[in-house]
Structure 1
Amino acid sequence: MTRWQANGVILFVALIWGTTFVVQQTSMDSIGPFYFTGVRFLLGTVAVLPFALREVSRLYVAGYRFSRRDKLGLLATGIAMFLASILQQIGIMDTSVTNAAFLTAFYVPTVPILALLVFRIVPHWAVWPGGVLCVMGTYMLSGGDLSGLGSGDFWVIGSAFFWACQVVLVGIMAKRTRAPLTVAAVQFFVTGVLGMAMGTVTEDFSLQSVYGAGFEILYAGIMSAGVAFTLQCVAQNYTEAADAAIIMSAEAVFAAIAGAIFLGERLLPMEYAGCGLILAAIIGVQLMPLLRRRRRVAAV
């Protein structure tokens, strides 16, 4: 898979995640955030597990064994996903789909900073202006008015840091283990188990509540978790975490469109301009490294 193909896959991932904001919000009419998160990601685990087991078997035959450090890295990836998912899910109960998408996008500038400071991964320079454009674009997409931030918005802001951790860790672990499907399955399982465990302490569980949120759980579990997060793990084998974060910020655009279609939320001209800035950032982070490479070839 080429870098362009990988980034195209990530854009498709952003489409799925953007539309998932809608079902995340509507599901809260029937089920609590912990049980929703737990059931959703356990369903994602079931969807990916057969492929992950086949991948592990192939690596085992090739002589590869997961080290203790690999296992700790996989666990850390799962914990980061759980914290990001549950904070976002709690927050979306008390904010709009568009606001949630905008505030989640704060992970975009956080990813290259985290990758540089903690893991010494130096991103291409185009990532920095791209990250700024994404924040500006998502701010405009939110209507340019954050004066009315409520408690739900602050929960979502908190989730952005852990989404950044998850994006960086997925990129590292997928390349380190050469087992992206296994990375996906493990992080789903850890998130699902933690969600169910916390749900038993804080929420009432019933099959009726699961049935009431059945469509939302199926969509978020199979499409968002089983398909999108797995594709993220695979695609990040072939592109940098900072690039992936900028492209995935397009989920804010798709969330706004989905909110308009399914929840009656409407975009103003300023919000459309925000979509344009995000698109410009995505195109820029793709083209700048390519132009630099062509200049080097021409110079030779």
Structure 2
Amino acid sequence: MRPKNAFMLILTAFIWGTAFVAQSVGMDYLGPFTFNGVRSFIGGAALLPCIFLLERFNEKNSSAAPVKGSRKELIAGGTLCGLLLFAASSLQQLGIQYTTAGKAGFITAFYIVIVPVLGIFLRKKTGIKVWTAVLIALTGLYFLCITETFTIGKGDVLLFFGALIFSVHILVIDYYSPRVEGVKMACIQFFVCGAASLVPMFALETPKAADMAEGWLPLLYAGVLSCGVAYTLQIIGQKNVNPAIASLILSLESCFSVLAGWIILGETLSVRESVGCVLMFAAIVLAQLPDKKKEEVQYG
């Protein structure tokens, strides 16, 4: 892997991890659906110039291979991803109200273990390594979420179901990304997510321009950096990189969320919760370690 690619992926993980702080701070000014809706529209708008620049680059670079796929597939993929993103990010934003940014980051990162498990229903083999990772992650979630009185916090439940939907979201992206242009599909999904947020935003909340103006910094960070910049960095950084290694680097998002919550928000984790975080990160690493035989065949 080139150092440039590794740097881009680490920067992506850093932006996504610290975005949990922006989401937490943003709740001081806006309701969860308002925050998600506005940040999604900002993210979609931030990708428009990226699409323009990429099209200009492809026009000048004749060697760039065109991406196959019809406009119908692009719209279908973007719409489905947008609806899934709306459901997952809404649960995440609702859940983060009742827990810390670091804890939210680790529970959300559980999708990296869930994805290969859901692959069973798509007739994809799941080896002992993945099942071991699932067992370790469940143990980590127990320490992280279940208190000594054997109760689970409301925010933990919401975040976990959000992680489940994020897992489906990843599988849908995996299906459509080889068929359509990734940045365009991302742009559509952000606008669809923003549009879907409008209904609960006006039905359950009272969005005010003054509140959005006060919360401009977390909104811009979550919208421009987390959605627009980070997604573009991920696409460029993953080029010609082993997907398993790329996913492993991106899973550092959970570590950055804990560090950001500690440094910026002054959040602390108990010893029990810290053990849960360590176990979950170990499970994430184990689930993403490439199989040696496959590596030799593909990259040897």
Is TM (by shorter chain) over 0.5?
Answer: yes
Show the counterpart of 1:209.
211
Select which of 44, 59, 81 maps to 1:77.
Answer: 81
264-273 or 39-48: bigger deviation: 264-273
CA contact (8 A) 1:170 1:236 kept: no
Superposed, 1:22-171 pairs within 5 Å as 22-55=21-54, 58=58, 64=68, 66-118=70-122, 120-122=123-125, 126-137=129-140, 147-171=150-174
Q: How many Å separate the matches in 2 of 1:288 and 1:172?
A: 21
2-structure distance, mates of 1:126, 1:7: 25
Q: Is the contact made by 1:143 and 1:270 (CA closer than 8 Å) also made in structure 2?
A: no
Unmatched segments (≥5 aa) in structure 2: 60-64
Contact 1:34 1:86 in 2 (8 A): yes
Amino acid across the alignment from 1:82: F
TM-score (norm 2): 0.79
Q: Match of 2:62?
A: none
One-letter amino acid matched to 1:168: L
Question: 92-101 or 236-245, which moves further after superposition?
Answer: 236-245
Indicate conservation of the 8 Å contact 2:34/2:197, yes or no: yes
* Structure 1 residue 30 displacement after superposition: 0.9
Per mean C-alpha deviation after superposition, the further-off stretch among 20-29 and 225-234 is 225-234
Q: CA deviation at 1:221?
A: 0.7
Task: Tell me how far apart the structure 2 counterparts of residues 8 and 144 of structure 1 sit (CA, whole Å).
Answer: 38
Corresponding residue pairs, total: 295
For residues 161 and 185 of structure 2, the distance between their equivalents in structure 1, rounded to whole angstroms, comes to 24
Structure 1 position 263, deviation (Å): 1.8
Q: Partners in 2 of 1:124 and 1:33 — Cα distance? A: 38
| 1:29 counterpart letter in structure 2 | D
Q: Give the distance between the partners of 1:53 and 1:186, measured in 2 at CA.
A: 14
> Post-superposition shift, 1:209?
0.5
How far apart are the structure 2 equivalents of 1:121 and 1:3? 30
User: 1:68 Cα shift?
Assistant: 2.7
For structure 1, the 5+ residue unaligned runs are: none
Pick the aligned partner of 1:175 from 178, 194, 211.
Answer: 178
2:192 — aligned with what? 190
Tell me: CA distance 1:137–1:103, structure 2 relative to 1, closer, same or farther (3 Å): same
Q: CA deviation at 1:91?
A: 1.2
Check if 1:20 corresponds to 2:19: yes
* Distance change >3 Å, CA 163–CA 111, structure 1 → 2: same
| Secondary structure at 1:175 match in 2 | coil
- Give the AA of the match of 1:218: L
Match of residue 226, structure 2, among 208, 224, 227: 224
TM score, norm. by length of structure 1: 0.79
